[in-house]
């Protein structure tokens, strides 16, 4: 942690978020540059009146949950980004545990789900299904906004006027978002295996009574010599080396 005049920097991780803190007794605004990490500990510092009012408003919306889970996610995201938890806690994770009874993992899921809902609400009403809870949004949180809309539209086509379920969103995702598969088809894989098996070996057979190399005793073979054979273990190689050490080779038959 370094402290230079009015600028304070916390943490050693890459800087991702910026927060502002204004002390009523200071003439200048102090800028806190903080790493965006749920478990990253920051220095506790008092909130200014505006920040206190925002925190009270956000916490009330989270406690009431009357405006939907997406609003809860938005409020958690705002508390996290603005570092409004620093007035009482050193980390967002500990703040969530003490204040709401859940950890940052659940908070992160709700935040991502709220972003998904916000994206789906940006398209014309009635053309997509909007998740009613975090679990329904979960299948889409790992998708880009464009693909989230595709899944929302497909779900609407599938369920019609019926209320969708989590399974409906999962099935719609499987329809419009192709699963990641190998580039080679089964036929291509079979052909490649057959061609590899028929490929002539480039292994140079060693003589029945090989001689050590003058450069130091190492044998040089092609890189693919192991194809189609069982490789010996390190223990077997070690024993073979010990055996070769005591073999008497005829100097006239050196390779």
Q: What is the per-residue pLDDT across 178-228, written as a single tens digit (0 to 9) for each?
A: 876 545 556 666 666 665 555 554 444 555 555 555 545 545 555 555 555
* pLDDT score at 237: 74
Considering its fold, how many domains does the chain have in total?
2
Of 147 and 193, which is predicted with more confidence? 147
Of 112 and 214, which is predicted with more confidence? 112
- The verdict on 43 and 130 lying in the same domain is no
User: Domain for residue 72, yes or no?
Assistant: yes
* pLDDT score at 20: 35
> Which percentage of the chain shows pLDDT scores above 70?
58
Report the pLDDT averaged over residues 17-34. Answer: 35
- The verdict on 144 and 48 lying in the same domain is no
* Residues in CB range of 176: below 8 A, 6 or more apart: 147, 150, 151, 154
Instruction: Give 62's DSSP letter.
Output: H
pLDDT band (50, 70, 90) for residue 162: very high
Asked if residues 93 and 103 have their Cβ atoms less than 8 Å apart, the reply is yes
CA distances from 30 to 48, 84, 85 (A): 12, 15, 17
Report the pLDDT averaged over residues 133-151. Answer: 95
The count of other CB atoms within 10 Å of the CB of residue 248 is 6
Cα–Cα distance, 159 to 156 (Å, whole number) = 5
* pLDDT score at 175: 94
Query: Among 19, 67, 71, 66, which residue's Cα sits nearest to residue 40?
Result: 19
Query: What is the enclosing helix (H) or strand (E) of 77?
Result: helix 69-81
User: Domain for residue 181, yes or no?
Assistant: no
- The verdict on 17 and 87 lying in the same domain is yes
In terms of average pLDDT, the best of 20-34, 117-131, 166-180, 236-250 is 117-131
């Amino acid at each position: 942690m370094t402290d230079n005049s009015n600028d304070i920097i916390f943490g050693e991780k890459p800087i991702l978020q910026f927060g502002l803190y204004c002390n009523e007794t200071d003439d200048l605004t102090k800028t806190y540059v903080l790493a965006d990490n749920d478990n990253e500990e920051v220095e506790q510092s008092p909130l200014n009146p505006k920040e206190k009012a925002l925190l009270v408003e956000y916490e009330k919306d989270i406690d009431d949950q009357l405006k939907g889970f997406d609003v809860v996610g938005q409020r958690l995201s705002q508390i996290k980004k603005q570092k409004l938890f620093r007035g009482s806690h050193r980390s967002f994770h500990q703040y969530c545990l003490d204040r709401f009874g859940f950890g940052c993992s659940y908070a992160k899921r709700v935040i991502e789900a709220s972003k998904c809902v916000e994206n789906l609400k940006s398209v014309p009403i009635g053309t997509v299904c909007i998740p009613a809870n975090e679990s329904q949004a979960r299948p889409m949180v790992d998708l880009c906004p464009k693909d989230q809309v595709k899944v929302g539209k497909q779900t609407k086509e599938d369920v019609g006027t019926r209320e969708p379920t989590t399974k409906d969103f999962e099935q719609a995702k499987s329809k419009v978002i192709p699963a990641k598969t190998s580039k080679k088809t089964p036929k291509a894989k079979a052909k490649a295996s057959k061609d590899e098996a028929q490929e002539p070996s480039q292994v140079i057979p060693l003589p029945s009574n090989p001689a050590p190399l003058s450069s130091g005793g190492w044998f040089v073979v092609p890189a693919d010599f192991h194809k189609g054979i069982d490789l010996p273990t390190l223990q077997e190689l070690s024993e073979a080396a010990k055996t070769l050490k005591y073999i008497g080779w005829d100097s006239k038959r050196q390779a």
